[in-house]
Amino acid sequence: MPRYRLDIEYDGTPFLGWQMQVEEPTVQGVLSAAVKKFCGEEVIPGGAGRTDSGVHAMGQVAHLDLEKDWPEDTVRDALNAHLRGHPVTILDARKVDETFDARFSATARHYRYLIVNRRPPLALMANRAWLVHVPLDADAMAQAAPALIGNHDFTTFRAAACQAKSPVKTLDKLSVRRSGETIIIEASARSFLHHQVRSMAGALKFVGEGKWTAGDLKQALEACDRRQCPPLAPSAGLYLVGVDYASDQA
């Protein structure tokens, strides 16, 4: 039974996240339905990241097993044909070893958060970024971000409903840069807590507004108290941009 890796992009706006739910539109749900229409098999693809409602992906990865040994291009093109009407695209489909698991084989996940910092409302970027009207100091945000890099207890930046066994994670990268009116936050780690990236984005926005200093950000982290975290950044600005695997797993 061949296993296929799927590289996927999607607009998360109409979906209640990645994970399949009863009578609710999800990315995993429409993908499973496309597989059923393609080959008649009941398959639930496993995903690398369980993105939340409204969160987008440029580089989600999934795996699935099919009974027939289909050509890779056929799998990609057939699934895309049956995904028409949904903002989901299979960028690539290729056969992988049966030990490959999109979630558990991952060595790193990369997220991007976009803030559009201007007064006028969004037209082209509506539901694609967080519109912040007040001026933000991106340099201050960039200087504060390293306080969160490393191995820490991220309870402050964790959703109350997070199901992770431990709040301790190692954040490998957290950077901030401005490109015109857009502020780009990049975060990388092997894995993240539920709402961790959006929580960190909300905290960095506080720094950009001048409500917090870098010291305040560090103090909030060390408090290990969710009540110390600023409001969660909206889901519309968050993108799963890529997932890394060991060379023999990719």
Q: With helix as H, strand as E and coil as C, how does the chain read?
A: CCEEEEEEEECCCCCCCCCCECCECCHHHHHHHHHHHHHCCCCCCEECCCCCCCCEEEEEEEEEECCCCCCHHHHHHHHHHHCCCCCEEEEEEEEECCCCCCCCCEEEEEEEEEEEECCCCCCCCCCCCEEECCCCCHHHHHHHHHHHCEEEECHHHCCCCCCCCCCEEEEEEEEEEEECCEEEEEEEECCCCCCHHHHHHHHHHHHHHCCCCHHHHHHHHHHCCHHHCCCCCCHHHEEEEEEEECCCCC
Q: Is 52 marked active-site?
A: yes
- Catalytic residue, chosen from 11, 52, 137, 139, is 52
Q: Which residues are catalytically annotated?
A: 52
